[in-house]
Structure 1
Amino acid sequence: MKGYLFPGQGSQYVGMGQSLYHHSSRAHQMFATADRILGMDLTYMMLEGGQEALKETTVAQPAIFLHAVATAFLSDSFDPAAVAGHSLGEISALVASRVLSFEDGLRLVAVRSKAMQKACQLCPGTMAAVLGLSDEVVEAICAKITQEVVVPANYNYPGQLVISGSQAGVALATEALMEAGARKVIPLQVEGGFHSPLMADAQESVAAVFASIPFSKGICPIYQNVTGLPVTDPETIKANLLQQLVAPIYWTKTIHHMVEDGITACIECGPGKVLQGLVRKIAPSLSVEPLSVLGETQSSAY
C-alpha cells in the first residue's frame, strides 16, 4: 500500500513547476486559477522570480501547495491508501485526497500564510533544529524555561527535534541544550516561531475562514500532524488542522503509524526531497521515492 507525502515550507526553489506549466494544459489552468484567486503573479515568482521572493511566507506556501497538488492531479499513478503532509503540506494532502477542493485549498493557504506572517510581526520569533538529544531531554529543557516562550515544534526524526519560540527563548534553550550534550543546535532561516503559542493570533484569524469552507470525506485517511494518527471524519480533520498552527508536528509518529497500518511505500508529492530524507531516518526499511510527472525533477538543493 502506498502513502503519499506532501512537503512543507522550505522545499521551494526557483523554477519549480516549469515542466508542469509548459507541458500540461490542466496545469496551466491551475496556475492561472492560483494567480487569480491569490491576486498575485505566483506563476512568475515560481518559474522565474528570485529566491528572495520565494522565502516570503505568503509566496512560499501557495507555491509549494500549487506544485504539490498539480503533481498529484497530473499523475496517472496517484492512488493513495493514505496521505500525510508536513505542516503546510497537510492542506496539499487534503486537496489531493479530495477532502478540500483545489480552490478552497488555495483560499485556505492564502489566509493561513498571511495570518502567519502577521503573527510573526506581532510576536517575533524563530526556530532551531536540535541534533543528538532525545526528545525527552529537549522537552524537559524547554519546559524549564518559563520566562520566555520556547517549545518543541517539529518531531522530524529520532535525534532531530526543532524548537520554536521567541528569539530570547530559543537562545536560552540553545545554551541549555548544548550544555546537555546536543551535537548541534542549528538556527533555521524562518520568519517566526511557527507551531508555537506565538501563532495564536494566526490561529484565531484562520478559524473564522474555516467556518465558510466545506470539508468532505476524502478518498483515503489522512495522518494528521497533531496526533500522527489517521483521520477520515471531516470535522475532526478541520479541528486538527486548526490546532496544528500552535501545536507540534509529530512527523516521526506519523510515519511509524503508517508503517504499523500497512503502508509499504511512501511517495513524496511536491518540490524537494526533504520528506524522503526524513522517512529514511525514521523507517529505513520503508520504500520511498519522489512522484515525478512530465519530466518535472526535484531540486538538487533539497
Structure 2
Amino acid sequence: MRKAYLFPGQGAQFVGMGKDLYEHSEETKFLFEQANEILGFRITDTMFNGTDEELKQTKVTQPAIFLHSVILAKALGRAFTPDMVAGHSLGEFSALVAAGALGYEDGLRLVAARANAMQKATEIQPSAMAAILGLDDFTVEDVCQRVSEVVVPANYNCPGQLVISGTVAGVDKACELLLDAGARRALKLNVGGAFHSPLMEAAKVELQAAIESVKVSEPVCPIYQNVDAKAYTDPDAIKHNLIEQLTGPVRWTQTIIHMIEDGASSFTEVGPGNVLQGLVKKVDRQAETAAAVL
C-alpha cells in the first residue's frame, strides 16, 4: 500500500484557519510565532480573526495556506509517512518542506517572495483567469492557440475542468469561443491575475534568484511536480521545475494519473479545505481519499 500526500494551493483559505493547530502544542505555537517574525506582520491575526477580503490578498493567502499545511504535517509526526507527495501550485512548496527537501524557514521566505512577485506582476498588466467546464483538454488548448491575445491553459485540474489564464481580452475571447465549442460553463475567477501564464515572466525572473540561493536537499520520497507531472528526487531538477512553475501550467490531472500508475493506493490532503480530494475522485472514482487530522 503506497500513501500519497497532497497539499492545496490558493483558494483553500478560510477565516479561522490554523487556530486549532496554533493551540495544539507549544511546538506548533512556536512555528506560527516564528512565521510572524519572518514575515514582519502577524499573519496569525488575519488567519484566525481577519476578514475574507484581508485573507484573499495574495501576500497573505499564500503564506497562510503554506503554514496551515506544513505545520499540520509536522504536527502529525510519525503518522506522516509519505511514499510520494505533490502540491497544487503554491502547494508544491508545502510538499517540499513536508518531504524534507526545503527547510521550514527557507520555504516560508520563498513563498512570501513568490506571493509578492506575483502581486507585482499582476499590477503590470490587467489579466484574468477562467474555469472552463465540460470540454476535453485538446479543444481548450486548440481554442487558446487560435486567440491572438495571450491566453493559455493554466490548471489541468481534472477531466472536463481546465482553468485558462491570460490578458483580460484574451480570456474573454477564449471564453466566448469555448462556449461556442460546447463548454458547459466558462466562469471568470476572482483572482488577482494571470497565474501560470507568460504574464508571470516578471515574477519568475524575480523568484529565480531566491530559489537558486536556497538549499534544496533530496526529499524523503519522490515529489510529482506541476510542470510535467513527473516524479523527482534530484535537488537541481526540483529547483529548475520550481522556477518554471510560475509561467507553466499545473498538470494536476496528469499528476494524479502518474501517482496511481506508480502504485498510490490512498491520497491524504494536508492543509485547509478538501478541493484536492474532490479532484482525485474526478480522475478515479475508486481512489481512497481523506483529510489529514490530528
TM range (shorter): over 0.9
Give distance in 1, aligned partners of 2:55 and 2:89.
17
- Residue 130 of structure 2 corresponds to 128
Residues 214-233 of structure 1 mapped to structure 2, 5 A cutoff: 214-233=215-234
Give distance in 2, aligned partners of 1:263 and 1:21.
31
- Residue 75 of structure 1 corresponds to 76
Give distance in 2, aligned partners of 1:268 and 1:64.
12
The one-letter code of the counterpart of 2:127 is: G
Which sits farther off after the overlay, 81-90 or 68-77?
Answer: 68-77
The one-letter code of the counterpart of 1:283 is: D
The one-letter code of the counterpart of 1:131 is: L
**Residue among 113, 135, 142 paired with 1:111:** 113
- Residue 24 of structure 1 corresponds to 25
Matched, 1:88 2:90: yes
Q: Note the aligned Cα RMSD (angstroms).
A: 0.6
Give distance in 2, aligned partners of 1:175 and 1:278.
25
Give distance in 2, aligned partners of 1:225 and 1:72.
20
What's the offset of the Cα at 1:97? Answer: 0.2
Which sits farther off after the overlay, 24-33 or 100-109?
Answer: 24-33
- Residue 146 of structure 2 corresponds to 144
Runs of 4+ in structure 1 deviating by more than 4 angstroms, as ranges, are none
Give distance in 1, aligned partners of 2:126 and 2:230.
31
What's the offset of the Cα at 1:123? Answer: 2.1
Q: Mind listing any 5+ residue stretches in structure 1 that lack a counterpart?
A: 294-302
What's the offset of the Cα at 1:211? Answer: 2.2
Matched, 1:255 2:256: yes
Give distance in 2, aligned partners of 1:111 and 1:123.
20
Residues 1-302 of structure 1 mapped to structure 2, 5 A cutoff: 1-76=2-77, 77-146=79-148, 148-293=149-294
The one-letter code of the counterpart of 2:99 is: S
Q: Deviations over 1:133-168 (max 9, x none)?
A: 11000000000012x110000000000010000111
Contact 2:156 2:253 in 1 (8 A): yes
Contact 2:106 2:214 in 1 (8 A): yes
What's the offset of the Cα at 1:94? Answer: 0.2
SS at match of 1:98: coil
Give distance in 2, aligned partners of 1:93 and 1:23.
21
Give distance in 1, aligned partners of 2:282 and 2:230.
19
What's the offset of the Cα at 1:212? Answer: 1.4
SS at match of 2:165: strand
SS at match of 1:270: coil
Q: Mind listing any 5+ residue stretches in structure 2 that lack a counterpart?
A: none
Which sits farther off after the overlay, 3-12 or 22-31?
Answer: 22-31
Contact 2:212 2:239 in 1 (8 A): no
TM-score by length of 1: 0.96
Identity level (%): 54
SS at match of 1:264: strand
SS at match of 2:169: helix
What's the offset of the Cα at 1:3? Answer: 0.5
What's the offset of the Cα at 1:124? Answer: 2.0
SS at match of 2:220: coil
Q: Deviations over 1:167-216 (max 9, x none)?
A: 11000001000111110001111000000000000000001112210100
What's the offset of the Cα at 1:23? Answer: 2.2
